[in-house]
C-alpha cells in the first residue's frame, strides 16, 4: 500500500450514475478503501487490432474507453445491498435475481459514486 496505485479487475454493475461491485469480507482492496475512498476506474471495450501488412509502426487499435473518478462506500442496508448485487447481475445477465442470506452474509457490496468521467473512441 503506502500510497502505491492498485489496479483490480472487477465485475460491476452501472445504474447510470454509480458503479456497483462486490468483494470478499477482507482483502487488499478493502484495506486500500479504508485508507482512501477516492478511486479511479477504467474500462476498454470493442478493442480490435488493426494490422498493416507493410509497416510495423502503422499497426493500431480501434477501441472505446472510459476513465472516471469518484468516491466509494460500502452498502450496509440489506435492500441497498440487494439492489447493488442486482445491478451487477443485470449488467451480465439482463435480469434481476433473488439472493439467499448465505450469499448476502459472505459478500461486501460497494457503490462508487462517479464524480468525473471521460470517454474516448478511436476513429
Would you list the domain boundaries of the chain? 14-121
Q: Of 47, 42, 46, 45, which Cα lies nearest the Cα of 19?
A: 42
**What integer pLDDT is reported at residue 18 of this predicted model?**
97
Q: How many whole angstroms separate alpha carbon 93 and alpha carbon 35? A: 33
Inform me whether the pLDDT recorded for 1 exceeds 60. Answer: no
For the domain made up of 14-121, the CATH class stated in words is mainly beta
Share of the chain above pLDDT 70, in %: 98
**pLDDT of res. 2:** 64
pLDDT of residue 118: 97
Per-residue model confidence (pLDDT) at position 108: 95
Question: What's the mean pLDDT in 23-48?
Answer: 91
Half-sphere exposure for 55 (CA within 13 Å, toward CB): 3
Q: Give me the pLDDT at residue 8, please.
A: 85
Query: What pLDDT digit, counting tens, does each position of 60-110 carry?
Result: 999 999 999 999 999 999 999 999 999 999 999 999 999 988 888 889 999
Per-residue pLDDT, 104: 87
* HEC per residue, 37-98: CEEEEEEEEEEEEECCCCCHHHCEEEEEEEEEEEEEEEECCHHHHHHHHHHHHHHHHCCCCC
Cell 498493416, located at residue:
52
Task: Read off the C-alpha cell for 123.
Answer: 476513429
Task: Report the residue count for the chain.
Answer: 123
Q: What is the mean pLDDT of residues 44-65?
A: 94
Amino acid at each position: 500500500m503506502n500510497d502505491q496505485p492498485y489496479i483490480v479487475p472487477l465485475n460491476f454493475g452501472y445504474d447510470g450514475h454509480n458503479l456497483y461491485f462486490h468483494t470478499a469480507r477482507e482483502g487488499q482492496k478493502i484495506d486500500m478503501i479504508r485508507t482512501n475512498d477516492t478511486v479511479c476506474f477504467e474500462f476498454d471495450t470493442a478493442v480490435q487490432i488493426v494490422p498493416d501488412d507493410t509497416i510495423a509502426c502503422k499497426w493500431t487499435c480501434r477501441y472505446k474507453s472510459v476513465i472516471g473518478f469518484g468516491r466509494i462506500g460500502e452498502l450496509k442496508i440489506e435492500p441497498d445491498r440487494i439492489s447493488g448485487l442486482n445491478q451487477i447481475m443485470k449488467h451480465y445477465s439482463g435480469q434481476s435475481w433473488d439472493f439467499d442470506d448465505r450469499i448476502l452474509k459472505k459478500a461486501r457490496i460497494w457503490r462508487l459514486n462517479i464524480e468525473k468521467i471521460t470517454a474516448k473512441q478511436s476513429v
